[in-house]
Amino acid sequence: MRSIVWSLVAIVLLPLGSASRQVDWNAPFPPHRVMDNLYYVGSSMLASFLVTTPEGHILVNGGYEATVPVIRGAVEELGFRFGDIRYLLSAHAHPDHAEGDALIKELTGAQVVTSRAEAPDLAAFRPGGKEHPIDRMVEDGDQVTLGGTTLTARVMPGHTKGCTAWEMELSENGQTYRTLILCSLNTQGIRLVGNEDYPQIVEDYMATFARARTMDVDVFLSSHGVFYGLEARHERLLARGPGDPNPFVDPEGYRAHVDEYEQIFRTRLEQQRAAAGN
């Protein structure tokens, strides 16, 4: 029942123009290499990423329980063993991104990593009565390293109390690209005024937008593919010829995303304040 409810809520959380479409949240999407040792292994709507290393792999975002077979199929289609996943990094405590964590741990033995601020809400997920695993809690700036690859936690609260972006460096053709798997800047369906469960939500969002503007990002990814134009970028990837730029390199797109969602946030904040008589 929780998955059904959150599927409906998640539709509200998509960018404007996407919610009107009838979508299958767990429909497979072609797995593909983004760059270097980073691969997309999520569904058509729920983004999951695999970081491969000689010592095992790191998965970012576990999806719903029902998404796990899709993720597993994508990993194996790329030629990697699902059982070689050593870490599962959680971006934020919404079921469409973390409900599947317990099943993934059961299948792989991976350590589940989340931010300390996110842990209480994440622990409340109990799909099928299973306890939600949390093996390590991180603070902003903490790192997860495996097989020569390091991901750094960037806690950017607002969408949730401990919303965590994961930052890493990727290389291609002798160049290094600063890469960010953004948690979420979305405010659709979120109560900004009078939120008793999260009284500092407005201040956190403002701080996160301010911080986002200071970050140098070359490769911008996010928790939903629609936030960074997954379908269009994948089409460009398939059509990419020798010497063509990698379609996932888009620093201007990152800045435009921050601009767009900060404006949405400020508009919704004004609307909610007006409705509350503030």
What is the phi/psi pair of residue 44, to 5°? -65, -25
Average pLDDT over residues 54-61: 98
Average pLDDT over residues 164-173: 98
Q: How far is CA 82 from the centre of its chain?
A: 19
- Number of neighbouring beta carbons within 10 Å of residue 1: 5
Q: Is the pLDDT of residue 10 over 70?
A: no
Contact 192, 159 (CB under 8 A): no
Torsion over CA of 105, 110, 116 and 119, rounded to 10 degrees? 0
Whole-number average pLDDT of the chain:
92
Q: Is the pLDDT of residue 8 over 70?
A: no
Average pLDDT over residues 7-22: 43
CATH at residue 235: 3.60.15.10
Angstrom CA distances, 131 to 12, 99, 102, 225, stand at: 28, 11, 7, 28
pLDDT score of 2: 34
Tallying the residues shown for the chain, one arrives at: 278
Q: Is the pLDDT of residue 12 over 50?
A: no
Q: Is residue 198 within a helix (H) or strand (E), and if so which, with residue range?
A: none
> Of 71 and 19, which is predicted with more confidence?
71
Domain ranges, residue 255: 2-276
- pLDDT tens digits, one per residue of 92-138: 999 999 999 999 999 999 999 999 999 999 988 888 888 899 999 99
% of the chain at pLDDT higher than 70: 92
Contact 166, 154 (CB under 8 A): yes
pLDDT score of 113: 98
Average pLDDT over residues 38-56: 98
Q: Is the pLDDT of residue 57 over 90?
A: yes
Helix spans in the chain (H): 2-12, 68-77, 95-98, 101-108, 119-123, 201-214, 230-238, 251-276
Compute the distance between CA of residue 258 and CA of residue 85 in angstroms, rounded to an integer. 31
Phi-psi map region of 16: left, alpha, beta (phi>0 left; psi -120 to 50 alpha): beta
pLDDT score of 1: 31
pLDDT score of 175: 97
The set of residues, in sequence order, having a beta carbon less than 8 Å from that of 115 and lying 6+ positions away, is: 90, 137, 138, 139, 140, 153, 155, 162, 163, 164
DSSP state letters, 112-140: EEEETTTHHHHHT--GGGPPPP--EEE-T
pLDDT score of 22: 62
Average pLDDT over residues 237-257: 97
Q: Is the pLDDT of residue 153 over 70?
A: yes
Q: Is residue 93 within a helix (H) or strand (E), and if so which, with residue range?
A: none
The set of residues, in sequence order, having a beta carbon less than 8 Å from that of 17 and lying 6+ positions away, is: none
Query: CA nearest 255: which of 204, 206, 189, 185?
Result: 185
Domain count, the chain: 1
Q: Is the pLDDT of residue 4 over 70?
A: no
pLDDT score of 125: 83
pTM confidence score: 0.92
Compute the distance between CA of residue 64 and CA of residue 3 in angstroms, rounded to an integer. 7
Compute the distance between CA of residue 89 and CA of residue 223 in angstroms, rounded to an integer. 12
% of the chain at pLDDT higher than 90: 86
pLDDT score of 11: 40
Strands of the sheet containing 38-40, edge to edge, are 32-35, 38-40, 49-53, 56-60, 85-89, 111-115, 136-138
pLDDT score of 278: 75
